[in-house]
Amino acid sequence: MDIRLAICVVIVAIFRQQVFFSDLLPMKLSFLLLYFIPLLLFAKDTQRASKDDLAPLVVTARGGFPEPIKSSAWTINRVEYDELTKARSMSEALTGITSVMVQKTALGQSSPYIRGFTGYHNVLLVDGIRLNHSAMRSGPNQYWSTVLINGKESIEVLRGTNGAIYGADAIGGVVNILSKEPIFKESKSQFNGRFTGRIASAEESWSASLLAETKTPGWFAEISHSEQSYGDLSGGKTVGVQKNTGYDTRGTTARLARKLSDNAHFIFGLQKAFMDDVPRTHKTIDGISWEGLSAGKEIWRKLDQERELYYGKLIWEDIGGIADAGQITLSLHSHEQARNRMKGNLGVATGGDFQKFDLDDYGLSARFESDTIWNSRLSYGAKWHREKLISGGYKFNANSIRTSDLTQGPLAANAEYSRIAFYLQDTYELDTGFTFQPGIRFSSIQANLKEYYGENDDSTTLLNPEKKSYEELIGSLRVSKQINDELFVFSGLSEGFRPPSLYDLTSTDETSAVERPDTKLEPEKFLQAEFGIRGESGSWDWQTSYYYSWIKDMVVRSPVESGKSDVLKSNGDGFIQGIELELGYQWTPSWKSEFSFSWMDGEVEQMLDNNATGTMAIDGHNYSPVNRATTRLMPVQAKFSTQFAPASSNWSSTLSFLAASKANDLSLKDETDLTRIPSHGTPSYLLTNIYGNYDISDSSSISLALENIGDIDYRVHGSGLNGPGRNFILSCSILF
């Protein structure tokens, strides 16, 4: 028997067992492989593209291995270094990207919604290392803001579900912040550095960073440090200064690389970031009343956030064999969070609490690529993470004097969360020109709850230890074809999943609501279908796609009772769909215009408190399941920009317009969040911005930006504060 046919028979037998005994047949993509694997095993012999053919490259879609962005079967955006220097933070560097809405709970707490998902439904990678952890919240959170962009070369944004490669949480998309590859000097050693500075008027802010690096034939070393200070943010012409919004942050990164051969090197890296007293203003009496918003009752609420990452990574390529290219990474990612708040009544302090948690995430991952006996390119690997969580806190009176200890903090007092996963993804090209990428991933997760509050507990007694286990087998299939030199089409079906995290299982105090631990929650499951077209012709280039995501058993938080902050957690089904368009036109070698457009719609099952006889009774309330919009559903968004960059001049400039429609399709929870979302929905807005850059010399440049020229009052949907009013930004970069 032909070896490929034998492999086909074995795989079909395995997947037949998985599919026909599954209770979720529509969500199991593995049945697709039954039809495609026999075809793929007899695929056309292919040759790997040379490195010269791959530029420009992206690495996120294939788990860290390069591929040309123009022929990727995924929708990917790449934000380059020049764009990063204009942004205030890493999250805000993603502003305006198709199907991305950067929500800001506070000036120091911003994270993106990608294709309708945020928080722990998106994966954030730092140089390919996972930042997500089991204490990460469901909504927008501050963890993305701890990643500083000084010293980073680019950000890759993969839009869409990619659980086969990136496992749990990769639902809305994957964001990968990338440093430049180590450079080894061929002859004598070389030292160089860069200073960057930025000041902004509406933010009353300044930031400065210094980077230094040295290169020798066998070594590469780099170190950078950043300091940032933000004052109270000024909104538009009617809102003015938004009190109690400023904070300080600082961070340090370092990398040391050793060249092992022409094809291999080792990197040791560390990152440290600290955010000091970041206020959550909308929950306090300093919240604004714009468009009928209600101020909070707390006197103050502040958050400290510290993140440390230590890692070693071995990288090689073009060595042949079953691991022709590979990456092995060992990491320790530590997160410390402390929240300090003073509650109040009619502006008078009544006492508060201090809550914190420490989480250490130990990780080991191995990713490989090799050519197969059937002349395809196989990616495979394994990943292991073990997280240790400790949580605690105390209460204090109106004079900030400590009165009593809390048995646990915002999460379990003591818990562990372990993950192990294995994946395979192959790339075949048929005689017809179609390229197929089937993938499969098996994951096993265990939550060990050692000390935690119960669901109906009085928040003073811890329950007996409990272990929860979850297993998942998911698949993915991407199909693409280069129709001609001008047109590329791609499509795919991709599964995603997310088991209940320590946050879901044990949280007692969500940032905007009060909730109870729930160890009976089911794992979330997702399936996304996508079809896209990418091309260029003459002066035009474009990309458009349509996607539809099926949602099953997503953990949804619904208000327990109108006007109260308590929420009920339940599993709900639903969908999100959207249309994306990106269009560019090169008028002349010096002038180019770009346009992008995003539309999405979605709903998910929620629990409505009807205060009458309902279909479900929980904790003395009657609830009816209803289908309502997903939380903070992104409104229609469009961006238009025109850039002037003459080759013979040191000047360049860009004029851009960013528009968002009114956001009034609200979830049940959105309707009660009146400190952030007006009762009639978030108003539409149109921002006009202009950017200019001047290269003083080959080693220095200066940039001037004027954002929100009209000084309008606006708010990104679901944010806890308004965006900056008219904002003058001056930045500079000096190489030495």
Position with higher pLDDT, 515 vs 12: 515
pLDDT at site 97: 96
The answer to which of 16-25, 332-341, 433-442, 619-628 has the lowest mean pLDDT is 16-25
pLDDT at site 32: 40
pLDDT digits (tens, 9 = 90+) for 529-551: 999 999 999 999 999 999 999 99
The tokens for 20 are 């026909």
Q: Which spans in 347-481 are helix H? A: none
**Phi and psi (nearest 5°) for 164?**
-65, -35
Report the share of the chain in percent with pLDDT over 90: 76
Report the share of the chain in percent with pLDDT over 70: 89
Q: For residue 561, what pLDDT band results from cuts at 50, 70 and 90?
A: low
pLDDT digits (tens, 9 = 90+) for 601-616: 999 999 887 765 445 5
Q: For residue 55, what pLDDT band results from cuts at 50, 70 and 90?
A: low
pLDDT at site 27: 39
Report d(CA 606, CA 572) in Å as an integer.
Answer: 6
Q: In this structure, how many other beta carbons lie within 10 angstroms of the beta carbon of residue 514?
A: 13
Give 458's contacts (C-beta < 8 A, 6+ positions apart). Answer: none
Q: Which CATH superfamily is domain 43-233+244-258+277-735 in?
A: TonB-dependent receptor, beta-barrel domain (2.40.170.20)
Q: What is the CA radius of gyration of the chain?
A: 26
Task: Give the type of residue at 199.
Answer: I
Mean pLDDT of the region 92-118: 94
Report d(CA 604, CA 23) in Å as an integer.
Answer: 21
The tokens for 609 are 């408190």
**Could you please report the per-residue DSSP string of 148-180?**
--TTEEEEEEEES--HHHH-TT-SSEEEEEEEP
pLDDT at site 43: 39
pLDDT at site 618: 58
Q: For residue 163, what pLDDT band results from cuts at 50, 70 and 90?
A: very high
pLDDT at site 514: 72
- Assess whether pLDDT exceeds 80 at residue 61: yes
The tokens for 700 are 């220095």
First and final CA of the chain: distance in angstroms?
Answer: 65
The tokens for 511 are 């940032």
Helix 3-20 vs helix 30-41: crossing angle, to nearest 10? 170
Q: For residue 648, what pLDDT band results from cuts at 50, 70 and 90?
A: confident
Q: For residue 10, what pLDDT band results from cuts at 50, 70 and 90?
A: very low
pLDDT at site 78: 93
Mean pLDDT of the region 4-32: 40
pLDDT at site 31: 39
Report d(CA 633, CA 109) in Å as an integer.
Answer: 19
- The verdict on pTM exceeding 0.85 is yes
- Assess whether pLDDT exceeds 60 at residue 721: yes
Adjacency order of strands within the sheet including 122-126: 75-80, 152-159, 173-179, 122-126, 129-130
DSSP strand pairing (122-126 vs 173-179): parallel
Whose CA is closest to 569, among 501, 665, 663, 671? 501
Report d(CA 63, CA 421) in Å as an integer.
Answer: 14
Report d(CA 436, CA 434) in Å as an integer.
Answer: 7
pLDDT at site 510: 57
pLDDT at site 568: 85
Whose CA is closest to 523, among 476, 470, 574? 470
What does pLDDT average to over the chain? 89
Q: Where in the chain are the domains?
A: 1-39, 43-233+244-258+277-735
Position with higher pLDDT, 518 vs 695: 695
The tokens for 45 are 């012999």
Position with higher pLDDT, 80 vs 41: 80
Q: In this structure, how many other beta carbons lie within 10 angstroms of the beta carbon of residue 5?
A: 12
- 544, 545, 546, 547 alpha-carbon torsion, rounded to 10°: -150
The answer to which of 82-96, 107-121, 521-535, 622-636 has the lowest mean pLDDT is 82-96
Q: Given CA atoms 494, 500, 502, 506 in this order, what sign does their dihedral have? A: positive
